[in-house]
Amino acid sequence: SDMSKMPMRVLVTGGSGLVGKAIEHVVKNEGGKLEGEEWIFLSSKDGDLVDIAQTRAIFEKHRPTHVIHLAAKVGGLYLHMKENLYFLRDNLRINDNVLQTAHEMDVSKVVSCLSSCIFPDKTEYPIDESMIHNGPPHDSNYGYSHAKRMIDVQNRAYFQQHGRRYTAVIPTNVFGPYDNFNIENGHVLSALMNKTYKAKKEGTSVTVCGSGNPRRQFTFSLDLGRLIIWVLREYKEIDPIILSVGEEDEVSIKEVEDMIASALEFTGEIHFDTMLGDGQLKKTASNAKLRSYLPDFTFTPLKEALKMTCDWFVANYDAART
Ligand code: NDP
């Protein structure tokens, strides 16, 4: 039988997280699933991928032909700084368990997830896919970063030694429903949403950490989900690809906070605490490679995506990770 003609059975690790939930939405509600296909979305309750026996049991149970590998140990900035060894070892093991088990069970394609925060700390801008290994990552999360970088090294080696077409995507800052909205540990944009919503309810002002001047590229989780499914079906390279809005879409934290305030109809005062550090002023990534493949892909306008996320957050406040 010709394996390539069989409908895919796709196993999504980390299927209960921000990105996994977005892929599930695209698969279930936007026709992302083709006839005969099966999609399985895993959470840590289905098994601990740090453990090789549990990883093998999951693969034996589902017998996937394709894997989207999103599961990762992720934490807030301060947890990373305190526990680099833990983030290094657990992520190295998760990634090695998933990739090696996929290889042993003859999975034909794996799409793993790197992150733009693993790029070299000292670099020229815009950053692109060819620069991942060109110097040490930022000191705060070097454990997580080196573990992620090894996925790219492993992908090359699985291809060289076994002809496996395992690849990786590199998102910039992702946001959307199901994110972690915790004010201390959440991603910047979701933490700002939570802070602003709280201030609205309590009739207080909002204080944003830092000057508001740093600029970032924010990618909506549903757009990322659509693009990851495209990578799974169409992208043939082993080398990774940045999946992000363009350089021209970079916005300042201040601009984002203004958009969040208007989406939540918050009319109080917004302060910027300049005593707190700013982090890097910019980390611009180039999406030229993505554009060379998909010149016409339209990203959801930031305002619209922020509004959808704010509406989701307010409607699901009790269930959301806060
Ligand atoms: P989340 O933190 O929202 O979700 C993490 C997922 O991994 C959850 O499904 C979680 O399961 C699962 N998981 C964690 N540890 C284990 C484990 N030991 N065994 C099995 N499953 C586990 O992550 P995101 O959706 O935000 O991120 C997905 C991927 O994208 C990650 O690889 C991340 O590094 C990368 N990324 C994210 C960016 C972002 O801005 N969010 C930016 C760039 C890259 P459970 O729900 O049960 O805990």
pLDDT digits (tens, 9 = 90+) for 238-289: 999 999 999 999 999 999 999 999 999 999 999 999 887 777 788 999 999 9
Question: Which atom number of ligand 1 is nearest to the Cα of residue 19?
Answer: 25
261 CA to centre of ligand 1 in angstroms: 28
Residues 70 and 268: their CA atoms lie apart, in Å, by: 38
206 CA to centre of ligand 1 in angstroms: 29
The DSSP element (H or E) to which 41 belongs, if any, is strand 38-41
pTM for this predicted structure:
0.96
Residues 168 and 155: their CA atoms lie apart, in Å, by: 8
* Residue 280 burial by Cβ neighbours in a 10 Å radius (0-12, 13-18, 19+): exposed
CB 122 within 8 Å of CB 128: no
Pick the catalytic residue: 78, 125, 142, 144? 144
CB 171 within 8 Å of CB 224: yes
Nearest to 283 by CA among 116, 132, 86: 116
Question: ipTM score here?
Answer: 0.98
The DSSP element (H or E) to which 19 belongs, if any, is helix 18-29
CB 204 within 8 Å of CB 148: no
Q: Residue 3's pLDDT is what?
A: 56
Write the residue with the smallest CA distance to atom 21 of ligand 1.
44
* Ligand 1 pocket test, candidate residues 111, 113, 146, most atoms within 8 A of CB: 113
Write the residue with the smallest CA distance to atom 29 of ligand 1.
70
74 CA to centre of ligand 1 in angstroms: 7
Q: Residue 75's pLDDT is what?
A: 78
Nearest to 31 by CA among 232, 226, 300: 226
17 CA to centre of ligand 1 in angstroms: 5
**Beta strands at 215-216 and 251-252: parallel, antiparallel or unpaired:** antiparallel
Q: Residue 32's pLDDT is what?
A: 84
Q: Residue 4's pLDDT is what?
A: 60
109 CA to centre of ligand 1 in angstroms: 20
How many angstroms separate the first and last alpha carbons of the chain?
Answer: 49
78-84 LR contacts (CB < 8 Å, sep 24+) = 78/184, 79/185, 80/140, 80/141, 80/143, 80/144, 81/140, 81/141, 83/143, 84/141, 84/142, 84/143, 84/144
What does the chain come to in residues?
322
Question: Which atom number of ligand 1 is nearest to the Cα of residue 90?
Answer: 18
Q: Residue 185's pLDDT is what?
A: 82
Write the residue with the smallest CA distance to atom 6 of ligand 1.
14
Low-confidence ranges of the chain (pLDDT < 70): 1-5
Question: Which atom number of ligand 1 is nearest to the Cα of residue 42?
Answer: 9
Residues 179 and 183: their CA atoms lie apart, in Å, by: 12
Q: In this structure, what are the phi and psi dihedrals at residue 231, rounded to the nearest 5 degrees?
A: -60, -45
Question: Which atom number of ligand 1 is nearest to the Cα of residue 18?
Answer: 25
Q: Residue 1's pLDDT is what?
A: 45
- Known active-site residue 144: yes
